[in-house]
Amino acid sequence: MDKIKKFQEALQNSQRIVFFSGAGMSTESGISDFRSADGLYMAKTHQDYSPEEVVSRRFLEAHPQEFFDYYFEHLVSPEARPNAGHHFIAQLEEIGKDVTVVTQNIDGLHQVSGSSKVYELHGSVHRNYCVAQGHFYTYEELILDDQGIPCCPEDGSLVRPEVVLYGEVLDPQVVEGAIEAIRQADLLVILGTSLVVYPAAGLIDYYQGKDYVVINKTPIQTYRPGGIVFESTISEVFEDVRASLDL
């Protein structure tokens, strides 16, 4: 039996499905990943700092203007729209599957496509808060000062994105919800991630089901034997399985 057929049957025979997505999920929406040849970690910052240093809490506090210059140029894509992969996952929910998304992405595209149960391990660019009083703002509500730094219209304090920067920990409630969903899943589908970013990547170890699927453009070290592994784009694989599921 070929891999596409196995994937089709796994989807049909499973009710609780968890999709664990990484940066490769959104590259077809025009959002750069991190570790490919054209990824963000290869981009120059025009400073004596690596991209990893720039997107750290320490750097934000010490150099807010440089942080937000890089942030708005490389990490925010307001024009991006969900791609066929995001829509496929949402459509599975529409036909009655119990679908949970656990994502490392901060772009919010899973929710835009219609997925209702999404655990954002690294936060979202769409949620921002004043560091002094905690006032919340959407991305569209941000007001920038003359240095390009978001500021709170209530008290003038810095407004930062609710994303997990280097030097910060994941939200324990989000992690707990993601672990429980993975633990209860009949099927785990890993999408567009190299599985090298911890602690997020370690959450898949809680999966107790038999079948799992990996779709990634480049080879990765799978976390246990027996998986259905595709070295392809997510949309290509999903398109091949779509017809038999009547989506």
DSSP class of residue 157 equals -
- Nearby residues of 243 by Cβ (< 8 Å), 6 or more positions away: none
pLDDT given at position 48: 73
pTM value surpassing 0.75: yes
48 located within any domain: no
pLDDT given at position 197: 76
Q: How many domains does the chain have?
A: 1
pLDDT given at position 35: 46
pLDDT given at position 246: 66
CATH code where residue 222 lies: 3.40.50.1220
Give the model confidence (pLDDT) of 117-144 as tens digits. 999 999 999 999 999 999 999 999 999 9
Count, residues in the chain: 247
- The domain of 4 spans 1-30+82-122+170-247
44 located within any domain: no
86 located within any domain: yes
In whole angstroms, give the CA distance from residue 3 to residue 67. 44
Give the active site residues: 122
pLDDT given at position 37: 41
Give the model confidence (pLDDT) of 169-200 as tens digits. 999 999 999 999 999 999 999 999 988 777 87
Angle between the 234-242 and 84-94 helix axes, to the nearest 10 degrees?
40
pLDDT given at position 161: 98
DSSP H helices in 114-242 = 172-184, 234-242
pLDDT given at position 36: 43
- Which residues of the chain are modeled with pLDDT < 50? 35-39, 41-42
162 located within any domain: no
